Chains A and B, each alone.
Chain A
Amino acid sequence: GNSVTQMEGPVTLSEEAFLTINCTYTATGYPSLFWYVQYPGEGLQLLLKATKADDKGSNKGFEATYRKETTSFHLEKGSVQVSDSAVYFCALSRYNQGGKLIFGQGTELSVKP
C-alpha cells in the first residue's frame, strides 16, 4: 500500500543552521508530494508541493525535490529562523484520489536563538 516515512524528531537546531528533514514514500504510479507545516496551536498550512519526478517545490526559503529513483522528497532550508519552529508533515496523494492524503507522522523542529 501507499505510505510515507519521515525522520523522527524532535530536531533541534541553532538559528541560521542548515535544515534537512528526510521523507521517503511508497506508492504505485506517480503520486503528488507535499510538505505541510503546523505552527504551534494552529492548523496545517501547505508549504510546498511537487507533482512529477524531478520537480522542485519551493516556498519561504524551503525546497524539496521529487526524486523518483530514490522515492524521496526531502525538505531543506539553508538558514533556519526561530520562526520556523513547527511540526512538518510530508504527504502524498494519488492522482484523482479525491484529495485523499497519506501523511507521515510529522517531524517537530525547534530552532534556538
Chain B
Amino acid sequence: NAGVTQTPKFQVLKTGQSMTLQCAQDMNHEYMSWYRQDPGMGLRLIHYSVGAGITDQGEVPNGYNVSRSTTEDFPLRLLSAAPSQTSVYFCGSGSTDTQYFGPGTRLTVL
C-alpha cells in the first residue's frame, strides 16, 4: 500500500515548456486534489476531483489543466510554464473530510 505517490520529485523547466505532474493513489479514494505551496501563503487549491470524470477549479486554477479518467490517477498539466508557477506541488487524496498528501514535487521555472 503506497498511499499517494507523486512524480517527479524535482523538475526544472524553461518558460513556455509543458509538462505533466503525476499523482496516483491506491486507497480507492473518491476525492483527489492539487495544491501549491508558496512561502508564507500556506497551501492553495488548484484543482480538485470528486470522482472519475469530474473535476472543478480551486482557488488558483489559471495555467493548469487536470483530468480524471480513473479513480487512481489525477495528473496536473502545465501547458506553458511561467516563472510564477515555481512552487512545491502537493497532490491530495481522501474521503469526505480527510485528505492525505503525497511527498510533493518541487518545480522551478526559469
The residues of A with any CB-CB pair to B shorter than 8 Å are 4, 32, 34, 36, 42-46, 49, 51, 89, 91, 93, 95-96, 98-106
Whether B40 contacts A99 by the Cβ 8 Å rule is no
Distance to closest chain A CB from B54 (angstroms):
9
Q: Which of B40, B44, B49, B90 makes the CB contact (< 8 A) with A44? A: B90
The residues of B that contact A32 with a CB separation of less than 8 Å are 97-98
Contacts A43-B90, A43-B103 given; indicate if A100 touches B48 (C-beta within 8 A). Answer: yes
In the complex, chain B residues 31-66 whose Cβ is within 8 Å of any chain A Cβ:
31-33, 35, 40-45, 48-50, 56, 58
Considering residues A43, A46, A49, A96, which has the most beta carbons from chain B within 10 angstroms of its beta carbon? A43
Chain B interface category by residue count: 20 to 34
Chain A contacts of B94 at CB under 8 A? 99
Closest chain B residue to A36, Cβ basis: B101
Which one, B33, B40, B97, B103, contacts A95 given CB within 8 A? B97
Would you list 9 pairs from A and B whose C-beta atoms are within 8 A, ordered by A residue? A36-B101, A43-B90, A43-B104, A95-B97, A99-B33, A99-B93, A99-B95, A101-B35, A103-B35
> When the two chains form the complex, which single residue of A34, A96, A100 contacts B33, counting CB atoms closer than 8 Å?
A100
- Return the contact of B45 from the options A4, A49, A89, A101 (Cβ within 8 A): A101
* B102 part of interface (Cβ distance < 8 Å): yes
Q: Is the CB of B104 within 8 A of A99?
A: no
Q: Bound complex: CA of A49 vs CA of B95, how far in Å?
A: 13
Which residues of chain B in 1-39 are interfacial with respect to chain A, using CB atoms and an 8 Å cutoff?
31-33, 35
Do B98 and A46 have beta carbons less than 8 Å apart?
Answer: yes
Query: What B residues does A101 contact at CB under 8 A?
Result: 33, 35, 43, 45, 92, 99
